[in-house]
Structure 1
Amino acid sequence: MNLIHVIILAIIEGLTEFLPVSSTGHMIIASSVMGIASNDFVKLFTVAIQLGAILSVVVLYYKRFLRSIDFYVKLLVAFIPAAIFGLLFAKKIDALLESALTVGITLFVGGIVLLFVDKWFNKPTVTEESQIDKPTALKIGVFQCLAMIPGVSRSAASIVGGMSQKLTRTAAAEFSFFLAVPTMFAATAKKLWDFHKEGHIFTGEEIKLLAIGNVIAFIVALLAIKTFITFLEKRGFKLFGFYRIIVGGFIIAVYLSGHSLQVI
Structure 2
Amino acid sequence: MTLFKAIILAIVQGITEFLPISSSGHLAILQILFNVKEGNVFFSQVLHFGTLLSILLVYHKQVINMIVEFFKMLGSLIKREKIELNHYQKLALYIILATIPTVIIALFIEKYLDQLYMSSLIIGLCFIITAFMIYFIDINIHGKNTMRITNAGVPKVLAIGAVQGVAALPGISRSGSTIFISHILGINKKDAVDFSFLLAIPAMLGGFILGLKDIFKEGSQVSFDINAIVGLIVSFITGVLAIRLIKVLIKKKKFHVFSYYLVVLGIICIVLNFI
The Cα of 1:110 is off from its aligned counterpart by: 2.0
The Cα of 1:130 is off from its aligned counterpart by: 4.2
Q: What's the counterpart of residue 267 of structure 2?
A: 249
Q: What's the counterpart of residue 81 of structure 2?
A: none
Indicate yes or no: 2:216 matched with 1:196.
yes
Say what the alpha-carbon RMSD is for the aligned residues.
Answer: 2.6
Determine which of 182, 187, 211 is the counterpart of 1:162.
182
TM alignment of 1:31-70, pairs within 5 A: 31-32=31-32, 34-36=34-36, 41=40, 45-46=43-44, 49-67=47-65, 68-69=69-70, 70=89
8 Å Cα contact 2:101/2:165 also seen in 1: yes
Provide the rounded CA distance (Å) in 2 between the counterparts of 1:208 and 1:96.
33
Deviations 1:189-224 (A, max 9, x none): 113213422x4142427x664443332111111112
Indicate yes or no: 2:134 matched with 1:114.
yes
Indicate yes or no: 2:201 matched with 1:181.
yes
The Cα of 1:147 is off from its aligned counterpart by: 0.4
SS of equivalent to 1:202: coil
Indicate yes or no: 2:252 matched with 1:234.
yes
Provide the rounded CA distance (Å) in 2 between the counterparts of 1:79 and 1:221.
22
Provide the rounded CA distance (Å) in 1 between the counterparts of 2:107 and 2:159.
19
Provide the rounded CA distance (Å) in 1 between the counterparts of 2:45 and 2:185.
29
- Percent identity among equivalent residues? 29
Provide the rounded CA distance (Å) in 1 between the counterparts of 2:166 and 2:228.
27
8 Å Cα contact 2:16/2:22 also seen in 1: yes
Indicate yes or no: 2:18 matched with 1:12.
no
Deviations 1:48-97 (A, max 9, x none): 62332122111111111122322322211111112122334432134323
Determine which of 199, 213, 225 is the counterpart of 2:243.
225
Provide the rounded CA distance (Å) in 1 between the counterparts of 2:109 and 2:129.
22
- Gap change, CA 1:29 and 1:226, over 3 Å in 2: same
Provide the rounded CA distance (Å) in 1 between the counterparts of 2:37 and 2:15.
23
The Cα of 1:184 is off from its aligned counterpart by: 0.9
Q: What's the counterpart of residue 96 of structure 2?
A: 76
TM-score, with normalisation over the residues of structure 1?
0.83
TM-score, with normalisation over the residues of structure 2?
0.80
The Cα of 1:115 is off from its aligned counterpart by: 2.7
8 Å Cα contact 1:108/1:244 also seen in 2: yes
8 Å Cα contact 2:54/2:237 also seen in 1: yes
Structure 1: tracts of 5 or more residues without a match: 259-264
Indicate yes or no: 2:144 matched with 1:126.
no
Q: What's the counterpart of residue 79 of structure 2?
A: none
SS of equivalent to 1:20: coil
8 Å Cα contact 1:52/1:214 also seen in 2: yes
Provide the rounded CA distance (Å) in 1 between the counterparts of 2:37 and 2:59.
37
Structure 2 residue identity aligned to 1:202: Q
The Cα of 1:132 is off from its aligned counterpart by: 4.3
8 Å Cα contact 1:24/1:46 also seen in 2: no
The count of corresponding residues between Structure 1 and Structure 2 is 252
8 Å Cα contact 2:249/2:255 also seen in 1: no
SS of equivalent to 1:241: helix
The Cα of 1:107 is off from its aligned counterpart by: 0.6
Provide the rounded CA distance (Å) in 2 between the counterparts of 1:236 and 1:38.
30
Provide the rounded CA distance (Å) in 2 between the counterparts of 1:160 and 1:97.
24
Structure 2: tracts of 5 or more residues without a match: 71-88
Structure label with greater radius of gyration: 2
